[in-house]
């Protein structure tokens, strides 16, 4: 059960890899029990599972862990350089999203990239719900977002953000969404790029 939770939680290559280590220990132990008790089928099954688990260890504690460490190294190095700060594209899902006042909104689900320019068109933000149940998804154009190494700042108040149209989980926009909200007295008002305000929020945090 512990190994299953470690692999299913998707908390990164290190946790997933150690989940496969636990699986491997279990399959080896069951193989020994099968040999000791003469249960051929138990031995065959768990020898196969041991091989599969070893592949998982190589995949997550070897190759994928190296990829993630490389991305983290680039992110850290960019913070100390004169060039714009970098973030790994694979790190976007799960990043914290706050509003212009510094209040938590939710987390990023993914980012959609324009092929022609290579720029992010919009991010999808998930709010509410528990473990993905009853959560609401909203698309926010990057013109209304301040990107930080540790998360995203939506350049709107929480109330303004909530007036954005919610998305069907399987139907995301095929183009950059409008900068305008869908309803309310401020509907139709273009979001002002309040960079100074978001900078102050992050500095205070």
Is 195 domain-assigned?
Answer: yes
Quick one: 110 and 34 in the same domain? no
Would residue 10 count as lying in a domain?
A: yes
User: Is 32 within the bounds of a domain?
Assistant: yes
pLDDT at position 9:
59
In this structure, which long-range contacts are made by residues 77-80, counting pairs with CB atoms below 8 Å and at least 24 apart in sequence?
A: 78/149, 79/149
Do 56 and 110 share a structural domain? no
Is residue 74 assigned to a domain? yes
Do residues 59 and 154 both lie within one domain? no
The predicted pLDDT at position 193 comes to 39
Task: Answer whether residue 163 is part of any domain.
Answer: yes
Quickly count: other Cβ atoms within 10 Å of residue 25's Cβ: 13
Q: Which of 51, 79, 107 is the last residue of a domain?
A: 79
151 and 120 share one domain: yes
- Mean pLDDT, 10 residues at a time, over the chain (205 residues)? 64 75 90 91 92 85 74 73 74 90 93 90 89 84 89 93 90 80 43 43 46
Predicted local confidence at residue 188, as pLDDT: 37
Same domain, 61 and 101: no
> Based on the domain organization, do 163 and 195 belong to the same domain?
yes
> What is the reported pLDDT for 144?
93
Q: Do 102 and 142 fall into the same domain?
A: yes
Structural domain ending residue among the three candidates 44, 79, 114: 79
Strands 145-148 and 151-154: antiparallel
Residue among 119, 117, 116, 98 nearest 108 (CA): 98
Tokens in use for 172? 């995301």
For 45, 131, 147, 156, the CA distances from 178, given in Å and listed in that order, are 55, 29, 18, 14
- Cα separation of the two ends of the chain: 38
Domain with 53, as residue range(s), is: 2-79
Alpha-carbon gap, residue 177 to 157, rounded angstroms: 18
- Please give the tally of structural domains in the chain: 2
Quick one: pLDDT at residue 158?
A: 92
Residue 84 in any domain: the answer is: no
Residue 17 confidence (pLDDT)? 78
Q: What Cα–Cα distance (Å) separates residue 6 from each residue in 20, 42, 64, 66, 68?
A: 8, 24, 16, 19, 17
Domain identity same for 101 and 172: yes
Cα dihedral 40→43→49→51 (10° resolution): -110
Q: Are residues 117 and 96 in the same domain?
A: yes
CATH number at residue 99: 2.30.30.240
Mark whether 100 and 154 lie in a shared domain: yes
94 with 194, same domain: the answer is yes
């Amino acid at each position: 059960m512990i190994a299953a939770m470690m692999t299913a939680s998707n908390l990164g290559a290190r946790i997933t890899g150690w989940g496969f280590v636990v699986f491997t220990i279990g399959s080896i132990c069951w193989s020994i029990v099968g040999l000791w008790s003469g249960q051929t089928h138990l031995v065959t099954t768990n020898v196969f599972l041991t091989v599969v688990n070893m592949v998982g260890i190589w995949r997550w504690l070897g190759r994928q862990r190296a990829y993630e460490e490389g991305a983290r190294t680039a992110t850290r190095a960019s913070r100390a350089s004169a060039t714009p700060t970098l973030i790994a594209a694979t790190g976007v899902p799960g990043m914290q999203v706050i509003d212009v006042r510094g209040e938590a909104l939710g987390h990023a689900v993914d980012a959609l990239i324009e092929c022609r320019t290579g720029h992010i068109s919009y991010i999808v933000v998930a709010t509410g719900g528990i473990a993905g149940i009853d959560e609401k998804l909203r698309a926010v154009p990057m013109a209304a977002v301040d990107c930080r190494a540790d998360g995203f700042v939506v350049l709107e108040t929480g109330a303004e953000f909530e007036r954005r149209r919610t998305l069907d989980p399987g139907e995301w926009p095929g183009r950059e969404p409008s900068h305008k909200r869908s309803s309310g007295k401020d509907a139709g008002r273009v979001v002002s790029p309040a960079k100074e305000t978001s900078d102050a929020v992050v500095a205070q945090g």
